[in-house]
Structure formats: C-alpha cells, structure tokens
Amino acid sequence: MNHKVLIAMSGGVDSSVAAALMMKKGDKCIGCTMKLLNQGDGAFSGEGACGSSDACQASDAIDLTGSAVRMNGRAEEAPAPGNPHACCSLDDVEDARSVARKLGMPYYVFNFAEDFGEKVIDRFVRIYQSGGTPNPCIDCNRYMKFEKLFRRARELGCDAVVTGHYARIRYEEESGRWQLLRSKNPDKDQTYVLYSMTQEQLAHTIFPLGEYPDKGEVRRMAEEYGFVNSHKPDSQDICFVRSGTYADFIERRTGRAAPHGAFVDEDGNVLGEHRGLIRYTIGQRRGLGLSLPAPLYVQRIDPQKNQVVLTPEDRLFSRRLIAEDFNWIWTSDWGKWGSPAGEASGRMQSGREGTGQESADGKNAGREYAEPGRSGQEPPAGYTCLITAKPRYRAKEAPATARVLEGGKVEIIFHEPQRALTAGQAIVLYQGESVAGGGTICEVLTG
C-alpha cells in the first residue's frame, strides 16, 4: 500500500537519495526544506506564502518555482551564500529544489525561522552563558524536524516524515515499543542526535538510508539519478554561525560583550584573567592565554563567580553524572515493568524494502497522529539497567549503569572514569544496536 510522505530535504546527497528511494517505491512524495534563518543570519530573506493547494496554506510556506525565491507573489533578491561548510544556505535550497524537480515531485520551503531562533539559537546562547556546552543539532532535530515538521506533515495529511538520517526503526511486538536502531553504516550512524524521538514520532518516521552500509553506494545512486549534489561534501559546521567563533556569534546575538573574570585553581588561587566564560569548554587546554609552569585544563566553569577553574589533566576524569529531560525509548526488560505504548504502537508501514524500517505488519495504516510528546510510560524511580553510554557525539561508548531518580532524572555511573564529562552535552544510552534513551547532562559528580 502506497502512502503520502513529507520528505525533509537539506540539499545534501543523503536526503536527495532518500527522496529518490521513496519515489521509486511509488509513494506520493512532497519535498520540503525548512527556512531556519532570517536574512540577518545569512540564509535567505523574506516571508513566504505557499501558492499550491497541495501544500499547507499557512503563511510560512514558500513555493520555489524558479531560480529566485518567490515570496508573496514577488521575486526577492537572494543574499550571498554563507559558510560553504554549513547547511541551510540558499545554495542548499536550490540543490534541493533541483532534485525535487528532477524527481517530479512538489517542493516547498517552510518558514520556521522564529521557532528556530527561540528553541535552538537562544538555547545555544543560554547554555554557553551558563557554563555548559550545547549541541544545537540535537535541538534542531528535536524541535524542528520532529516537532514543527512533524506537525506540518500531519496538517498536510501525510502518513510519515522521511529524512536522510543514518538510523533504523523497528517495532518490537513483545514490549509494544518502537526501537531506534543504529545504522548499518557505523561511521555515519546518527542515532546520538535522534535520542529524543518519541514513540509517536518513531511510528511516523522513515529513514531510507539506515540499511546502507556504505556512503559510497549512496553517492553512486545520486550519480545515477544525475543529481547536482552527488559529490557535495557533508555539512560540518553549525548553520547559524556563519563567521568567527561561537563566542563572537553569542556577543553579536546578545549585543553584549562577555565580561572578563579570573582563572583559578581548585583552591581558588588566581592564575590569570579570562576573556569571558563563553570562550571556554571543559577539557580545553589551548587558547587559555596563560604562561604556566605545567599544562592545566578547564575543569569547571562557574557562572556565579565568573571564574574558570583549571586543573591538571588527571583531575578531568569522573565516573558519575546526572542527566535531565530524559527520554526513554526501549530497554531489553521493558515488558517486565512497563506497558505497551498504546496508540503510539501502531505505525504506517508503506513497505519496508529500501526504507530502513522493519514492519509491524501494517498495523497502523491510516492511523491518526497523536500530539508529539515524550514516549509514554517511563521507567519508575529506582529502575536500573546496564547500558553503554555515549557522552559526546564523537566519544566512544563506555559500559555504565543507569538508575532512575525521583522526578525522572537519571544517574549514570560509568564502570571506568571518563574524561571531561560536560554539562549541556547529551548522554545517549545503548543496549546492543538499540538506543535505550538519552538526556542532557546537568551535573557531573566527583567521588
């Protein structure tokens, strides 16, 4: 059975091939790109209105019908492209539009810039100012792709959202839960940035590239389709930091220079002057601007005292942390204490071949969406499980024990000390190939 799907297209090769695979299956496909930055942020300008009855009639849809951006019936001058290594530029939109045209599917741009500024950029600024180190790509996936775009898909009558992420989704009958699984390509696996997905979102999401073990095969498919972006490099930088450092961006965004303060050792002895807390992160040694008899590293950032605490490297290691805003997806013993996910256990399955999904025998074909939220039944306080934990995107997983605390926070105890655990970063838990859950590190404990 074929279905209607909304495909998030970044202008890169992955989302383009994902779109081609869905078209090949015979699904009714709508391509879209999210407009996340205002003109002053260096993306593209203006407010848009959708001009097609097949897409949403809201004021934040832009119909890209030519090489210019047409907004409210008029063509607007396109600003110069920004950082070539960042996503979300006008060139990316043009590449996505070109692919959609070649595939013969409608394509729209949805203006989510206001929400992106509030939920991603401003949160990025707040966490840095409070001494943490954020991951805005996780927030973009959580609040933009799988909240705003999820709702737009529902408004358009689509059965699922499709993205080019390297991950897989599977329904487990025993627990009645949807699982988020690692990609078959371990080098490209993106489950770390997807840990916040709810059961409802997993039930209405398709990752066509999850089963492909080789990125080269994806690029070869793009070449065969004649896509303009078949050899386009992957985006690497944060899209809204177009130039300069993160600290420069924060000062421009807030209109305030970060106040200088003191570098101190663990005993409070002043070692020198720092240039603003936002210029430092846990574990940093380079760029301190100090002449010291032995190497020292950033151990802690204290926004109350406006101090950066420095320590020898061996003092950077710790075994325990507390994570908040935790989202549980699945554990191997879920059925022993929890309950099936109820309505969210049904899923639109439009045929799994080539889509990186495993079927629930079509049990949710045509099922209505529920409002996005957390994953339903949560583990009770005192629940513990053995997992491997990943405290940074590029970090190696390490064995640990997770324990649910009163109020829903989770304590993670690593079996071996870990270097530079950092507040503001995501901690993602795995059991085998499945994501158990994840949250935001709010406290690193010593002892």
Can you tell me which residue has the tokens 């737009």? 152
Give Cβ neighbours of residue 353 (< 8 Å, ≥ 6 apart): 25
Please pick, among 29, 88, 239, 385, the residue that the annotation labels catalytic: 239
Please pick, among 50, 56, 140, 158, the residue that the annotation labels catalytic: 140
At 256 the three-state DSSP class reads coil
Distance between alpha carbon 159 and the CA centroid of its chain, in Å?
Answer: 22
Nearest to 439 by CA among 418, 410, 416: 410
Contact 387, 404 (CB under 8 A): no
Give Cβ neighbours of residue 267 (< 8 Å, ≥ 6 apart): none
- Asked if 239 is an active-site residue, the reply is yes
Which amino acid, residue 375? S
Strands 357-358 and 167-172: parallel
Record the tokens describing residue 16, joined without a space: 């383009």
C-alpha distances out from residue 346 to 148, 172, 176, 355, Å:
21, 11, 9, 18
d(CA 403, CA 398): 16
d(CA 167, CA 182): 5
d(CA 78, CA 72): 15
Contact 347, 366 (CB under 8 A): no
Region label for 184, one of left (φ > 0), alpha (ψ between -120 and 50) or beta (otherwise): alpha
d(CA 171, CA 204): 12
Can you tell me which residue has the tokens 């996780």? 138
d(CA 82, CA 342): 45
- Asked if 137 is an active-site residue, the reply is no
Which amino acid, residue 157? G
| Maximal C-alpha separation, the chain | 70
Angle between helices 90-103 and 13-25 (to 10 degrees): 20
Angle between helices 246-254 and 122-129 (to 10 degrees): 110
d(CA 98, CA 92): 10
Show which residues are catalytic: 140, 239
